[in-house]
Amino acid sequence: MAHKETHKILVELKKQIDKLDLTDHEGKKSAEKISELIGAAVNSEEAEPETNHELKKLLKDSVLYFEVSHPTLTATINNVINTLNNLGI
């Protein structure tokens, strides 16, 4: 159940990130890296712990960056962070 729920919110987050029309370099770079890490997490049954750690850190950093310009994305990122925390990741 937990894996299924995590997979679902990661896929939703990836969809939202892929839809973004970012014009600044930093935003694009951050979104691409998040998308890459989500793809790795979604496409494997068990992501490597360092990938999970990197994804979680990047998500936390991106909340501050996107919170004003993309509130829906920020809410989804916070949901992902909370789910990962609840899973002990």
Distances (CA, A) of 15 to 20, 32, 66, 70: 9, 12, 15, 14
Predicted pLDDT of residue 45: 59
pLDDT for res 1: 40
pLDDT tens digit sequence for 21-71: 777 787 778 888 887 877 777 666 555 667 777 888 888 888 888 888 888
Mean per-residue pLDDT for 3-32?
79
pLDDT number for residue 47:
56
Q: Cα–Cα distances in Å, from 19 out to 13, 39, 48? A: 10, 15, 27
Could you tell me the pTM of the whole model? Answer: 0.67
Q: How far is CA 53 from CA 20, 84, 88, in A?
A: 24, 10, 11
Answer yes or no: is pLDDT of 82 > 80.
yes
DSSP string computed for 11-77: HHHHHHHHH----SHHHHHHHHHHHHHHHHHHTSSS--HHHHHHHHHHHHHHHHHHTTT-HHHHHHH
